Chains A and B, each alone.
Chain A
């Protein structure tokens, strides 16, 4: 009887079903859980207080209908590493987003189920609480909404979430985990996405040597690293030398959260970046400015992973910017250490490049990549 009733509701569709249940409960005034005719005895989930590292800006407002809870985050962690969410049980979110690599995969372009290749490189997952727009072209504004995309994309986990939910229902651990997180053991697409988003929100990296230096531990960086930091943050003008990095990768977050064309291509192929999303030709070739936190762990670099090492990246900005690239950022055009301000190139010395790279290594947060809270469950 109970099963038949639920089947009936399922056929009605979730909204209509919920509406009907609401009507029923309102009519008889039982006050029971609206989405489960047989009461379950799950305690209310425990609110989770997320600690924001010192000096970080205030996180962006988060969805009121998905507050962080200890149990929600724990469920999210299980789902993040759950291979049943992929077509052939071969991959999870954690396959392309590996903790040891600041949640990237070490590949130029991400590899999906069956060895398919994505057009873009897997982005690191860190400090997402401060990101107003997600992925390389900013196509998504909420983690709940975004989480569905890689699960269902044929080039990634390649399985409709509805099928994933059916498979989760057959795994013994999930009814209890969902019950603890959401009050009832019912497994739904919405709950999967909410739990994944909760887990992702806890991935905060803020304890690199760079952070500790900024918090006052002035001896923690070597002179070369400090000089690298200065060069990193200075826009050169012929009188003062600089690497021109922090106009875009600035501040505590190490990103301006903008979209820019940094001149890696003189023309664009199929992937127009922001322009593909907005349809504006003036946005073509613009991609998200990624945070440089943990950058030493996230090779290869750029949206398509075309640059293998940090040395290659420095060489790009110093001497390989494609000046004919449409919509090239003005910060790429007018930036040189040439005292006469004539050279088109940045004109860093080999030593300066080395010092900037030394500084980039100070952005590595060992605590973050070893934090057991973010690792695959036992």
Chain B
């Protein structure tokens, strides 16, 4: 009997929905279904306060090492929007590969996002280990993106290559990669929380296309928790030095500069 009562309830609800659908504009009836909309993230790659120009520009670390950058690529994944009340709205299946050589990759688009007032963003710099273990990759996770370690089956989470006169052989190769090692000792995947500048909220609404402007400062890889000197650290393929750089990345490579309400 419970079943039939449930069935009757379901039928009347369905009928109600149909009636609402036929006579009401959905947008005017928030009770019918949660409103969804869009937002985007614009990533501005910098070196300190300077623009990142591949190959041509020479930069200096806070410790005084000079360097150029020929490649700067990184994964961002598992994005979540945060609300003031502490609740979290995950944005499912979000994996992005940002490549400074590819302008289009520096703008991330989100759709079907529940409307709301958001006060921050949380994301993974890199590809989470669960997704890595699941395999079956395509698109930005494909092995043609130059970010996959075939022999250990791990992703390069952040890749920076370049040159430095302080490096004994002149090169810089930082492949901040992997998550394995005893007790995750070599884990370079980092989750970062990025509060929006005080007072600003991301208002996700129908008819709005707000944008989050994030600054990604490559210089922060080499300073912060650990000072990286190119004379000694210039070629990391995972391992302890990569972990140090991953900690620097988590401590401040990404900051939300401002929001556009749009």
- Could you list which residues of chain A lie within 8 angstroms of chain B, going by C-beta atoms? 57-58, 130, 230, 233-235, 237, 239-240, 246-247, 250-253, 256-258, 280, 282-283, 323, 327-335, 341-342, 344
Q: In the bound complex, do residue A334 and residue B167 qualify as a contact, i.e. CB atoms below 8 Å apart?
A: yes
Write out the residue numbers on chain B whose beta carbons fall within 8 Å of the beta carbon of A130: 144
Q: What CA separation (Å) do A332 and B204 show in the bound complex?
A: 47
Q: In the bound complex, do residue B144 and residue A332 qualify as a contact, i.e. CB atoms below 8 Å apart?
A: no
Write out the residue numbers on chain A whose beta carbons fall within 8 Å of the beta carbon of B172: 330, 334
Nearest 8 A/B pairs, CB to CB: A333-B171, A251-B143, A334-B171, A282-B55, A330-B171, A334-B235, A251-B144, A57-B142
Tell me if B56 is interfacial: C-beta within 8 Å of chain A: yes
Q: What CA separation (Å) do A253 and B150 show in the bound complex?
A: 13
Contacts A282-B55, A330-B163 hold; do A251 and B237 have CB atoms under 8 A apart?
no
Q: In the bound complex, do residue A330 and residue B173 qualify as a contact, i.e. CB atoms below 8 Å apart?
A: yes
Write out the residue numbers on chain B whose beta carbons fall within 8 Å of the beta carbon of A280: 55-56
Q: In the bound complex, do residue A323 and residue B144 qualify as a contact, i.e. CB atoms below 8 Å apart?
A: no
Contacts A58-B138, A334-B171 hold; do A327 and B55 have CB atoms under 8 A apart?
yes
Write out the residue numbers on chain B whose beta carbons fall within 8 Å of the beta carbon of A256: 144, 146
Tell me if B170 is interfacial: C-beta within 8 Å of chain A: yes
Q: Mark out the residues of chain B between 113 and 172 whose CB falls within 8 Å of any chain A CB in the assembled complex.
A: 138-139, 142-146, 148-151, 161-163, 167-172
Q: In the bound complex, do residue B144 and residue A253 qualify as a contact, i.e. CB atoms below 8 Å apart?
A: yes
Write out the residue numbers on chain B whose beta carbons fall within 8 Å of the beta carbon of A342: 168
What is the minimal beta-carbon distance from B140 to any residue of chain A, in angstroms?
A: 10
Which of B56, B173, B239 contacts A334 (CB under 8 A)?
A: B173
Write out the residue numbers on chain A whose beta carbons fall within 8 Å of the beta carbon of B167: 333-334
Tell me if B236 is interfacial: C-beta within 8 Å of chain A: yes
Which of B151, B161, B236, B237 contacts A330 (CB under 8 A)?
A: B161
Q: What CA separation (Å) do A342 and B231 show in the bound complex?
A: 12
Name 10 extra pairs, CB < 8 A, besides A240-B237, A333-B163, A333-B170.
A57-B142, A250-B143, A250-B150, A251-B146, A252-B144, A283-B55, A327-B55, A330-B173, A331-B173, A333-B167
Write out the residue numbers on chain A whose beta carbons fall within 8 Å of the beta carbon of B139: 57-58
Write out the residue numbers on chain B whose beta carbons fall within 8 Å of the beta carbon of A331: 161, 171, 173
Write out the residue numbers on chain B whose beta carbons fall within 8 Å of the beta carbon of A235: 173, 175, 237
Give the residue name and chain of the B residue nearest to A240 (CB).
B237
Highest count of chain A CB atoms <10 Å: which of B56, B162, B175, B237: B237
Give the dominant DSSP class at A's interface.
loop
Listed by A's residue number, 26 A-B pairs whose Cβ atoms lie within 8 Å are A130-B144, A230-B151, A233-B149, A233-B150, A250-B143, A250-B148, A252-B142, A252-B143, A253-B144, A256-B146, A280-B56, A282-B56, A327-B55, A328-B170, A329-B161, A330-B171, A331-B171, A332-B171, A333-B163, A333-B173, A334-B169, A334-B173, A334-B234, A334-B235, A335-B173, A344-B169
Which of B146, B161, B171 contacts A250 (CB under 8 A)?
A: B146
Give the residue name and chain of the B residue nearest to A257 (CB).
B144
Write out the residue numbers on chain B whose beta carbons fall within 8 Å of the beta carbon of A234: 151
What is the minimal beta-carbon distance from A353 to any residue of chain B, in angstroms?
A: 18
Tell me if B70 is interfacial: C-beta within 8 Å of chain A: yes
Q: What CA separation (Å) do A77 and B171 show in the bound complex?
A: 46
Give the residue name and chain of the A residue nearest to B70 (CB).
A330
Q: What CA separation (Å) do A96 and B145 show in the bound complex?
A: 30
Write out the residue numbers on chain B whose beta carbons fall within 8 Å of the beta carbon of A250: 143-144, 146, 148, 150
Write out the residue numbers on chain A whose beta carbons fall within 8 Å of the beta carbon of B175: 235
Write out the residue numbers on chain B whose beta carbons fall within 8 Å of the beta carbon of A246: 150
What is the minimal beta-carbon distance from B20 to any residue of chain A, in angstroms?
A: 40
Q: What CA separation (Å) do A308 and B161 show in the bound complex?
A: 30
Write out the residue numbers on chain A whose beta carbons fall within 8 Å of the beta carbon of B149: 233
Which of A240, A251, A330, A344 contacts B148 (CB under 8 A)?
A: A251
Q: What CA separation (Å) do A331 and B170 show in the bound complex?
A: 10
Q: In the bound complex, do residue A57 and residue B173 qualify as a contact, i.e. CB atoms below 8 Å apart?
A: no
Q: In the bound complex, do residue B144 and residue A57 qualify as a contact, i.e. CB atoms below 8 Å apart?
A: yes
Write out the residue numbers on chain B whose beta carbons fall within 8 Å of the beta carbon of A237: 235-237, 239
Write out the residue numbers on chain B whose beta carbons fall within 8 Å of the beta carbon of A283: 55
Q: In the bound complex, do residue A330 and residue B146 qualify as a contact, i.e. CB atoms below 8 Å apart?
A: no
Q: What CA separation (Å) do A247 and B139 show in the bound complex?
A: 18
What is the minimal beta-carbon distance from B149 to any residue of chain A, in angstroms?
A: 7
Which of A230, A253, A330 contacts B162 (CB under 8 A)?
A: A330
What is the minimal beta-carbon distance from B237 to any residue of chain A, in angstroms?
A: 5
Highest count of chain A CB atoms <10 Å: which of B145, B148, B151, B239: B151
The 8 A CB mask of B47-81 against A (1 = contact, 0 = none) is 00000000110000000000000110000000000
Give the residue name and chain of the A residue nearest to B241 (CB).
A237
Give the residue name and chain of the B residue nearest to A289 (CB).
B146
Q: Mark out the residues of chain B between 175 and 226 whose CB falls within 8 Å of any chain A CB in the assembled complex.
A: 175
Write out the residue numbers on chain B whose beta carbons fall within 8 Å of the beta carbon of A327: 55
